[in-house]
Amino acid sequence: MNPSAPKTNPIATVESLDHEGHGVARYEGKTIFIDGGLPFETITFSSYRKKPSFENAQAITIHNDSFMRVKPKCPHFGVCGGCSMQHMEFGAQVAAKQRILEDNLRRIGKVSAESMLPAIYGQAWGYRSRGRLSARYVAKKEQVLVGFHERRSGFIADMRECHVLPKSMSDQLLPLRELISALSIVNDMPQIELAVGENVTVLVFRVMTDINDADLALFKAYADRWQVQIWLQPKGPDSAYPLYPLDAPALTYSLPEFGIEMPFKPTEFTQVNYAINRVMVARAMSLLDPQPGEIIADMFCGLGNFTLPIARSGAKVLGMEGSKQLVERALEGAIHNQLDHLTSYEIANLFEMTEEWLDKLGRFDKMLIDPPRDGAMALCQSISIEHGPKRIVYVSCSPATLARDADILVNVKGYTLKNAGVINMFPHTAHVESIAWFEKE
Ligand SMILES: C[S@@+](CC[C@H](N)C(=O)[O-])C[C@H]1O[C@@H](n2cnc3c(N)ncnc32)[C@H](O)[C@@H]1O
Ligand code: SF4
CATH number for the domain spanning 46: value is: 2.40.50.140
Report which of 286, 285, 329 is spatially closest to residue 311, judged by C-alpha positions: 285
328-330-331 Cα angle (round to 5): 65
Question: Does 409 share its domain with 361?
Answer: yes
Question: Does 330 share its domain with 418?
Answer: yes
pLDDT one-digit tens code per residue, 90-102: 999 999 999 999 9
Question: Does 204 share its domain with 279?
Answer: no
- Does a structural domain hold residue 188? yes
pTM for the predicted model, two decimal places:
0.94
- Where is pLDDT greater, at 306 or 4? 306
Q: Once rounded to an integer, what is the mean pLDDT over residues 382-394?
A: 97
pLDDT value at residue 358: 98
- Does a structural domain hold residue 88? no
Report which of 309, 327, 307, 331 is spatially closest to residue 317, judged by C-alpha positions: 307
Question: Does 231 share its domain with 287?
Answer: no
Question: Is 397 annotated in the active site?
Answer: yes
Residue 52 predicted with pLDDT over 80: yes
For atom 1 of ligand 2, the residue with the nearest CA is 82
**CB 263, CB 235: distance < 8 Å:** no
| Residue 91 CB neighbour total at 10 angstroms | 13
| Residue 350 CB neighbour total at 10 angstroms | 21
Query: Across-strand partners of 42?
Result: 13
% of the chain surpassing 70 pLDDT? 99
Task: Please give the single-letter amino acid code of residue 147.
Answer: G
Q: What CATH number should be reported for the domain holding residue 110?
A: 3.40.50.150
Residue 17's contacts (CB-CB under 8 Å, 6 or more residues apart) are 23, 24, 38, 39, 96, 99, 100
Q: Once rounded to an integer, what is the mean pLDDT over residues 180-209?
A: 97
- Does a structural domain hold residue 259? no
- Does a structural domain hold residue 265? no
- Does a structural domain hold residue 155? yes
Question: Does 421 share its domain with 283?
Answer: yes
Q: Once rounded to an integer, what is the mean pLDDT over residues 307-332?
A: 98
DSSP letter, residue 258: G
Q: What whole-number distance in Å separates Cα of residue 20 and Cα of residue 33?
A: 10
Residue 350: pLDDT band with limits 50, 70, 90: very high
Question: Does 232 share its domain with 316?
Answer: no
Question: Does 221 share its domain with 319?
Answer: no
Residue 5 predicted with pLDDT over 70: no
Question: Does 138 share its domain with 110?
Answer: no
Question: Does 152 share its domain with 292?
Answer: no
For the chain, the straight-line distance linking the first and the last C-alpha, in angstroms and rounded, comes to: 67
pLDDT one-digit tens code per residue, 323-348: 999 999 999 999 999 999 999 999 99
Question: Does 429 share its domain with 338?
Answer: yes
- Does a structural domain hold residue 326? yes
302: CA distance to ligand 1 center in Å? 5
Mean pLDDT in the chain? 96
ipTM of the complex: 0.98
- Does a structural domain hold residue 256? no
Question: Does 99 share its domain with 118?
Answer: yes
| Residue 377 CB neighbour total at 10 angstroms | 16
Question: Does 211 share its domain with 180?
Answer: yes
Residue 21: pLDDT band with limits 50, 70, 90: confident
The number of distinct structural domains making up the chain is 3
pLDDT value at residue 1: 44
Which residues are annotated as part of the binding site for [4Fe-4S] cluster? 74, 80, 83, 162
What is the per-residue burial (b if ≥16 Cβ within 10 Å, else e) of 322-342?
A: bbebbbbbbbbbbebbebeeb
329: CA distance to ligand 2 center in Å? 31
CB of 159 sitting under 6 A from ligand 2: yes
Q: What whole-number distance in Å separates Cα of residue 212 and Cα of residue 184?
A: 7
SS3 of 397, please? coil
- Strand ranges, E, within 39-160: 42-50, 54-62, 115-116, 130-138, 143-147
**CB-count exposure of residue 52 (10 Å: 0-12, 13-18, 19+):** exposed
Q: Once rounded to an integer, what is the mean pLDDT over residues 202-208?
A: 98
% of the chain surpassing 90 pLDDT? 95
**CB 119, CB 422: distance < 8 Å:** yes
For atom 1 of ligand 1, the residue with the nearest CA is 372
Q: Which of 34, 248, 397, 425 is catalytic?
A: 397
Which residues are annotated as part of the binding site for S-adenosyl-L-methionine? 271, 300, 305, 321, 349, 370
Q: What CATH number should be reported for the domain holding residue 206?
A: 2.40.50.1070
**21, 45, 62 — which closes off a domain?**
62
Residue-range definition of the domain harbouring residue 404: 94-123+274-439
**CB 155, CB 211: distance < 8 Å:** no
- Does a structural domain hold residue 75? no
CB of 156 sitting under 6 A from ligand 2: no
279: CA distance to ligand 2 center in Å? 24
Residue 411 predicted with pLDDT over 90: yes
pLDDT value at residue 152: 82
Residue 7 predicted with pLDDT over 80: no
